[in-house]
Chains A and B, each alone.
Chain A
Amino acid sequence: MKRLFSLVFALGLLVVACGDDDSGATTSAPADTGAFPVTVQGTEIPALPERIVSLSATHTEVLYEIGAGSEIIATDVFSDYPASAAETEKVDAFNLSVEAVAALDPDLVILSYDPGDAMAGFEALSIPAILFSPPGPTSLGAVYDEWQELGRATGHTTEAQALVREVRDDIDSVVAEVPQTVRSFTYFVELDSTLFTVGSGTLLNSVFGMLGLTNVVGDDAGAYPQLSAEFLLDADPDFIFLADTVCCGQTAETVAARPGWSELSAVGNGSVIELEDSVASRWGPRIFELVLRITKEVYGVG
């Protein structure tokens, strides 16, 4: 492990700062009124939305980033970023009441989860609603597509395109810095303390793969398998990423105290990395932060 690290450094890989990650596109360019009506995800939006209800934390982050924040009148209880999203009126997206949302008189509703077919309710009430079907995009390309769709739906097409370009370039430049290693590092991402993790067909898995890392789970375990502790000890990943630091209070210390975990290489080498749950599980603009963090922790670059 340490040997591999020194090798990486010995290769003299350049650290190119790719700053401006805080260049929030808060530019309030005039919305593109002329484009309406538009059809997004099969829903016709007759006029430029001015009262948006976002029932998805990821999409809330994107909306604020593309300058649609001032049009948001309510968000779901998980929308806690940026800070102004946390202060909007709150709706429970997991027990959604169409009537409660309708009472807010929205002209656009964004959903990413709809087991109770609230979409039918919104259609009956002639409230334009867009559903980005769960479990969400599985590749960065699909993520960018979603952002552009949100841009079209809210009249912020230009900002959305700019955001996509910026994040894509930033990520590409980080990926370009990922050094060749003797062998691919292995990793385990912990979604909760009962060892739920991500497998093939998930965005997180593809992001890690893009950065040259190999999931200990392999390709055949499905999207969100629950690992046995024994398998994990046997697989002995080079890196452990904790995406349950907020929800479940896990830290490098709590993990090291689990039975048998003190024998793990990642624990011994200090390669247990604490991520913020929401950064690791959403696919908003902060995905660049995630990419940067992983690269920094694993390769010491970025």
Chain B
Amino acid sequence: MTVESPRHVSVRSLLLAAAVASGAIAAAVLIGPAGLDPRRVLLEVIDRLPLIDVESGLSPREAAIVWELRVPRAVLGSLVGATLAIAGAAYQGVFRNPLADPYLLGVAAGAGLGATLAIVTVGSGSLLVPVAAFAGALAAVAATYALGAAGGGRRTGTTLILAGVAVAAFLTAVQTFVQQRNADTIREVYAWILGRLGTTGWADVALVAPYAIVSIVVILLHRRVLDVLAVGEDEARTLGIRPERVRAIVVVAATLGTAGAVAAGGLIGFVGIVVPHAIRLIVGSSYRVILPLTVLGGAAFLTIADVIARTAVSPSEIPIGVVTAFVGGPFFVVVLRSSRRDSS
């Protein structure tokens, strides 16, 4: 471990990433199917700031579009995007597997099963849906962890991923079964699976924010340790780091964040793959550099994806999971190819 190489994130790249994220959020607030005058929208947002009182000229209904729909949705999009992206990066770090993400670990499948059970029993409008998704996600990651341990004693990255795939397949099968037995709610479940940001406005933001913030802070605090782990477990031990303990903390933090994000936005795929790898391609492989930039990059990515979801086929909406997968699918292949080339 030398300290000569620039392994800390530069202020300049942080500022640049923050500017991109701010631009995305601004675009999300200014652009929408309603075609409101951007200048007035801007005035409306400024008017809401404390101690400032300006007349935006928007009708109450138009103001509601800005303040009850666009702003909470942009905030929700950035929170969910940031959380999913850093969770993906964290999973990739602890399992030293470039393809690790919430899907491969069964987290998303567990959340999906939990939500499906809640939807078929109490209906999609219930507050229990996010709670059940959360419980399912935690149960899934616990199962993956236990199975990974049973497989080989030591939880290596590979056995965990394999355990995750098995758990995900099993949970998805159970979910499909439950879904088929309850055909009357099949479309509600389906809509939720495709992922969607914001029909409940600020309530969703309030739901996600605590999970997102705790998750992001905990993972960021472990960025140096992740760099050490990346060198190897034995090297980490010689530096007094206990890999199993670090892995458990980071995985729990990432899962908390993922479950919160999934509970609010549904199953939005590929953010955890696309964003960390795009950042890696630009700035290299140090987690101390990647993680902070991933938070901002994730926020920007999902917010822009949501602008596309809302406006591309207006007045209809595309599920945001479709937009992210449309970009993420091809990107995944590129990552796969380049990572295979690296390891050979």
Contacts and interface: CB of A to CB of B under 8 A. Distances in A.
A76 to B, nearest CB: 9
Given A192-B191, A194-B191, A259-B202, A230 B184 contact: no
A138 interface: no
Contacts of A92: 183
Chain B contact residues (Cβ within 8 angstroms of A): what range? 35 or more
Among A196, A228, A248, A262, the most chain B Cβ lie within 10 Å of the Cβ of: A228
A225 to B, nearest CB: 4
B123 interface: yes
B69 A221 contact: no
A264 B60 CA distance: 10
Contacts of A192: 124, 187-188, 191
Nearest to B119: A248
B65 interface: yes
B125 A228 contact: no
Contact of A193 (B34, B125, B203): B125
A259 B125 CA distance: 14
Contact of A230 (B65, B196, B319): B65
B69 A259 contact: yes
A285 B201 CA distance: 40
B199 A194 contact: yes
B61 A264 contact: yes
A194 to B, nearest CB: 5
A164 to B, nearest CB: 30
Contacts, number: 109
Interface stretch (B5-13, B83-91, B246-254, B308-316): B308-316
A236 interface: yes
A216 B35 CA distance: 16
Interface in A215-234: 216-218, 221-222, 225-231, 233-234
A24 interface: no
A247 B61 contact: no
Contacts of B35: 234
Given A228-B314, A230-B69, A259-B69, A94 B183 contact: yes
Interface in A96-118: none
B315 A227 contact: yes
Interface string A248-268: 111000100011101110000
Contacts of B198: 229
Contacts of A221: 315-316
Contact of A229 (B36, B187, B199, B203): B199
Given A92-B183, A230-B32, A254-B125, A194 B196 contact: yes
Interface of A: 77-78, 92, 94-95, 192-196, 216-218, 221-222, 225-231, 233-236, 247-250, 254, 258-260, 262-264
25 contacts: A77-B183, A94-B186, A192-B191, A193-B188, A194-B199, A225-B316, A226-B191, A226-B317, A227-B317, A228-B315, A230-B34, A230-B70, A233-B64, A234-B34, A234-B62, A247-B185, A248-B124, A248-B188, A249-B123, A258-B200, A259-B72, A260-B61, A260-B64, A262-B64, A263-B61
Which 5 residue pairs are nearest across A and B when measured between Cβ atoms?
A: A259-B201, A234-B34, A260-B68, A260-B64, A225-B316
Given A95-B183, A192-B187, A221-B316, 20 more contacts: A78-B183, A192-B188, A194-B191, A194-B196, A216-B315, A221-B315, A222-B316, A226-B319, A227-B317, A229-B69, A233-B61, A233-B69, A234-B35, A247-B185, A248-B188, A249-B123, A259-B200, A259-B202, A260-B68, A263-B64
